[in-house]
Chain A
Amino acid sequence: EAQVTQNPRYLITVTGKKLTVTCSQNMNHEYMSWYRQDPGLGLRQIYYSMNVEVTDKGDVPEGYKVSRKEKRNFPLILESPSPNQTSLYFCASSFDGRYEQYFGPGTRLTVT
């Protein structure tokens, strides 16, 4: 089954404790992206990757890091989480950035 998986689905952590949210796709897609969704603000792109080893900033990259060492994986790293990063996070993949994106189930992160 074609899918994008994210782990964990739910995470509660404390300010400053480094965390990683994993994202994996099994569709051999070149393009992957991370979004955060907050009430009233819609979906905002954090980072994207056109292909392996190539990443670039979206609209809200501050406080986040990504890496794309393999085509199928695109982890999101929060080196020092803060409460304003409490949000619902989605990973997505696509054949390339122009076409249909497949979204993961989401990771709900709470930073206290």
Chain B
Amino acid sequence: LAKTTQPISMDSYEGQEVNITCSHNNIATNDYITWYQQFPSQGPRFIIQGYKTKVTNEVASLFIPADRKSSTLSLPRVSLSDTAVYYCLGRTDSWGKLQFGAGTQVVVTP
């Protein structure tokens, strides 16, 4: 199983950079690493996805080391609206069977 482990919570101030690391146990060689954001009572929303090295979009960056056993989601200059739960997504050895990590609650304060 591609079990994922991430911190339960992180606190930050507005304007700071937040980095959340997820460990992927037994990730398959052809697995992508995907991160989602979720606000209360809403469905998760895709943030970013990568396979190796670094991926950046308008919202975040994703850093994946060469061994791919972990990944770090980086949120630059967070604002209050970034307060949410962030999930990394792993995959078992079955193509369609997906397992979300427990999620990291990020709280941004002024």
List A residues at the B interface (Cβ < 8 Å). Answer: 4, 31, 33, 35, 42-45, 48-50, 56, 58-59, 88, 90, 92, 97-106, 108
Least CB separation from B95: chain A residue: A97
Assess A101 versus B101: contact at CB under 8 Å? Given A43-B87, A50-B95, A56-B96: no
Q: A99, B97: Cβ atoms under 8 Å?
A: no
Those of B1-21 within 8 Å (CB) of chain A: none
How far, in Å, is A39 (CB) from chain B's closest CB? 11
A contacts with B: majority SS: strand
Q: B96, A97: Cβ atoms under 8 Å?
A: yes
Interface string of B28-49 (1 = CB under 8 A from A): 0001101010000111111001
Contact partners of B34 in chain A: CB under 8 A = 100
Assess A105 versus B97: contact at CB under 8 Å? Given A42-B102, A98-B32, A99-B49: no
